[in-house]
Amino acid sequence: MRNVLRRAGRAAAHTLALAALLAGVAGCRGPALDFSGKHRSPEESIRVLPDHGARDVPPEGPLEVRLPSGRLERVRVTRIESGAPGRITGRISEDGLRWTPRDGTRLSLAAKYRVDVVALDGHGRRSARQTTFTTEVPAHRFIGYFKPENRAVTGAGMIVSFEFNRKITDRAVVERAVTVTSDPPVEIAGHWFGDDRLDFRPQRYWEPGTKVTVRIRLRDVEAAPGAYGIQHKTVSFTVGRSQVSTVDAAAKTMEVRRDGSLLATVPITAGEPKSTTYNGRMVISDMQDMTRMNGATVGFTDENGKGEYDIKDVPHAIRLTESGTFLHGNYWAPVDIFGRVNVSHGCIGLRDEKGGSGDSPAGWFFDRSLIGDVVEVVNSTDQVVEADNGLSGWNLSWARWKAGSALR
């Protein structure tokens, strides 16, 4: 079995092949399940409303999770807009087939939500699904959804990233309205990727212990004709420590260094020759203890249009790019391939056990990782990952980074 997913516009050989971490960003671009498909058994159909990626969802919903059979084990609905975390509480029906929010629940306007579901089929086997959706933004208003979350503790490679729900035509006025400072102080610059994304980073990785403060003063700022901001808030995060892991695709190893000291050298499997792993520095942006990966969502199908693989319980899944590169546990490959053979379609696989084991290499690494940690791939025959693919801006030189500011 293969491990990984790749970039949307690349050829299938470079599309992530082990999976589609089904999520808003899930395991490679979008939900891993197609509920209108003809090839799904009832136990596999975790149905979430609103649909994955839905926009402009009204405050009254709909919001629910359904199963045709089996039993829901866990449903979590969390507001993930930084600075305003919160959870929607609800209940699972007595038959275990439906989750609904408590009576009177209303979603917040201009907010992004994530739905995490774990379900059991009739044989007690787990499967997972993760989706995201955003609620209505008032007419003639815009909002920036940003990372990391307020009061988060991150790795030293964390990049502050804003994604706007409308195209920004006056980038300078928006960039002026967002200030990022640090204690101890360092120079921090913004960089625009297109007309709806603005990232901030220093010249080098943050020093451990640094407190970073983000002041957002977008309220009534006109970013495009007739479109005014609604946010006025201050958020912060703290850099916990510096962990940089170097994956050598040729040697098939990963060296994990914490604050410069080597913690361990872990055997891995990377992308096979026809679907190699990106080179370059990537930043951990999401972590799931279990997720689902399906080849059909990324173009890996057989002659009948079914996915070449459908793994419902991929353990210890760590997202590295938006296009679907993951570092994750692998329990289905022979133990002796790790450190010896590259068999994935671009992901980085670590040995694991079914259900995920904290004593496995994958579990060990997962338990010692933070959002914002850096994973750098070297000696692959692939290109360097693009700077806007996930939080990969460290692959730009400082001069090129600052040249992308609207205030230069």
Neighbours of 9 (CB within 10 A): 8
DSSP 251-270: TTEEEEEETTEEEEEEE-B-
Q: Is the dihedral of CA 108, 114, 118, 122 positive or negative?
A: positive
Q: Which of 52, 191, 328, 345 is catalytic?
A: 328
Contact 88, 113 (CB under 8 A): yes
Q: Give the span between the Cα atoms of 380 and 351, in whole angstroms.
A: 20
Contact 132, 52 (CB under 8 A): yes
Neighbours of 284 (CB within 10 A): 24
DSSP conformation class of 393 = G
Longest dimension (CA), the chain: 61
Active site residue 328: yes
Buried b (16+ CB within 10 A) or exposed e, 193-232: beeeebbbbbeebbeeebebebebebeebebbeebebbbe
Which token pair is 124? 């007690």
Active site residue 316: no
Q: Which of 14, 52, 191, 347 is catalytic?
A: 347
Q: Give the span between the Cα atoms of 131 and 56, in whole angstroms.
A: 15
The dihedrals phi and psi of 361, each to the nearest 5 degrees, come to -55, -40
Q: Active-site positions?
A: 328, 347
